[in-house]
Amino acid sequence: MFSIRFFFPKDNQPKINIFNAENKITYVIKNWLFMPLVLAFIFSLPIYANFYTYLYGEYFPYINSILVLISLFVYLNIDKRFAFLFGFFVGIFWFYWIGLSFRYTNSTYLVYIIPVIVGIIYAILIWFALFFNNIIFRAITLSLIGYATLFGFDWFVPDAMLSFSVFKVDKISFVIIVAILGIMSIKKLRLYRFLAVLLLFFAIDFELQKARIPNEKILLTQTNTQQGEKWIGENADKIIQYNFNLIQNAIDKEYDIVVLPETAFPMILNLSFYEGIVARLNELSTKITIITGAQRNDNFGVYNTTYIFSDGSYYFADKVFLAPFGEYMPIPGFIADFFSKIFNIKYSSFDANSKEPKNIAVGNLIFRNAICYEATTKKAYKDNPKYMMLISNNMWFKPSSEPVIQMMLVKYYARLHKTIVFHSANGSNSAIITPNIELKFRVQGL
């Protein structure tokens, strides 16, 4: 029978003379650094295993399922002595990429500091969650920790590790899986382990009915415009022409709808200065429906917006759920100003003129509008939309695991709400993400 000796060192294990400097250093590295590091990596394996899925659009649900079980088992059984460092390394493995956006500021050194800060924040969170070695306490915290939104950031969702597994993704199934692993971890319940394994079948998704992709021909473009070049005026003509080439390519291939990523047009598109571009888009929209990202402003603020050009005119849907720190400051203004001065960072915020998710109509189809972060928050899936149109700019974090975690979260919510998500991205793979036990990538462009 599997032993959890690896997680809980016994008191009767051989002692070492920690007063010897060499032995002390070896002891610290082995027992206080190496072990939490290894266990944090094992806990994070479902993310890194999905790199293959992200790159090739194929995955192996049974292997993913085993990795998830191992990951959750590690959480339940790790010695609380390692909890803080375990949480620190988990924060690093999951969210090290947050610091990459500072490559485009005057304080590039924050690329290395931000991951450490993020690691410390998650170290504190997970230290509390693992405060007791009691398996029941651990099972409860594991089931609830996904509800903890730190500064409005809600990407730490262990449930999402089930996204590409054979298991259901609802909370009841997750609790069943955690309870089963808890039973497997308690020696006194050894006689119930066989029964626990049988209960696992109640968490398996046996649903055979598959959501159907609509018949309309939709071209999801993928672009790779570098973030450092995107907002430089001298590059604007090249970017605009490339976008029009994508649209013309879709028209030539007789697509019904062409989708360009978030801020594909790097400008405030509704300004009179750009009325020539808008006129050209309106003209092309008589041949094909064009969905694209750009900014918008009015008397109340500046918005991150989806523009829909159809039948010679356009309308728009602004981003509603803004990304914390990236698009708004989830901390009091005087604190944000203080850190802005210390780190020499100029930040700007978008505005949101609604608290309700927006829909867009394209022909006979109704899509829930989502811009990047929105598709990874449960608020965007209110009323279980049948279709979602998602546009993203992931170049901020390229190369990193960020688009993989985004993919997992979108798949998680797609399965949970039975939504088909059409995703066009800059800097990462475009895809159709369905609630089915499958993933279809359509990486298309010129």
Q: What is the pLDDT of residue 1?
A: 37
109 is in which domain, residue-wise?
21-203
- Whether the per-residue pLDDT at 13 is higher than 70: the answer is no
Hey, how many other C-beta atoms are within 10 angstroms of the C-beta on 7?
17
The pLDDT assigned to 207 comes to 80
Q: Which residues touch 288 (CB under 8 Å, ≥6 apart)?
A: 247, 250, 251, 255, 256, 257, 258
CA distance 326 to 353: 17
Say which CATH number the domain at 407 has: 3.60.110.10
Q: Judge if 197 and 261 occupy the same domain.
A: no
Task: Give the chain's end-to-end CA distance (angstroms, integer).
Answer: 56
262 has catalytic annotation: yes
What was the pLDDT predicted at 445?
40
pLDDT band at 20 (very low <50, low <70, confident <90, very high): low
Q: In what order do the strands lie in the sheet with 301-310?
A: 218-220, 257-259, 289-298, 301-310, 313-318
Whether 8 is covered by a domain: the verdict is no
Name the active-site residue from 262, 327, 374, 402.
262
User: How far apart, in whole angstroms, are the C-alpha atoms of residue 24 and residue 201?
Assistant: 47
Q: Please, which contacts does 249-255 make with residues 24 or more away whose CB atoms are closer than 8 Å?
A: 249/219, 249/445, 249/446, 250/219, 250/221, 250/288, 251/284, 251/287, 251/288, 253/219, 254/217, 255/217, 255/218, 255/219, 255/288
85 and 146 housed in the same domain: yes
Please indicate, yes or no, whether residues 87 and 195 belong to a single structural domain of this protein. yes
The reply to whether 272 falls in a domain is: yes
Same domain flag for 222 and 367: yes
Of the three residues 158, 180, 203, the one that is the final residue of a domain is 203
Are both 230 and 127 inside the same structural domain?
no
pLDDT of amino acid 286? 98
Catalytic residue list contains 253 = no
Q: Would residue 397 count as lying in a domain?
A: yes
What element of type H or E holds 257? strand 257-259
Query: Is 213 inside any structural domain?
Result: no
Same domain, 114 and 223: no
Per residue in 294-309, pLDDT (tens digit) is 999 998 899 999 999 9
Query: Catalytic residue at 372?
Result: yes
pLDDT for 6:
45
Element (H, E) at 218: strand 218-220
127 pLDDT higher than 90: yes
**What are the backbone dihedrals phi and psi of residue 183, each rounded to the nearest 5 degrees, phi first?**
-65, -40
Residues 223 and 199 in one domain: no
β-pair partners for 313: 310
Same-domain status, 265 and 190: no
3-state secondary structure at position 442: coil
The residue annotated as part of the active site, out of 319, 327, 374, 411, is 319
260 and 408 in a single domain? The answer is: yes
d(CA 179, CA 191): 15
Range in 85-94, 194-203, 338-347 with the lowest mean pLDDT: 338-347
Give the torsion sign (CA, 336, 338, 339, 345). positive
Structure tokens of 169?
Answer: 């993704």
Per-residue 3-state assignment (H helix, E strand, C coil) for 160-188: HHHCCCCECCCHHHHHHHHHHHHHHHCHH
251 and 162 in a common domain: no
Active-site residue (options: 168, 358, 372, 402):
372
* Torsion 100-102-107-112 (CA) sign: negative
Choose one of 144, 168, 203: the last residue of a domain. Answer: 203
Give 5's pLDDT tier (boundaries 50, 70, 90).
Answer: very low
Residue 390 lies in a domain: yes
Q: Classify burial at 137, counting beta carbons within 10 Å of its beta carbon; exposed 0-12, middle 13-18, buried 19 or more.
A: middle
Whether 129 maps to a domain, the answer reads yes
Residues 251 and 146 both lie in one domain: no
- In this prediction, residues 320-330 reach a mean pLDDT of 84
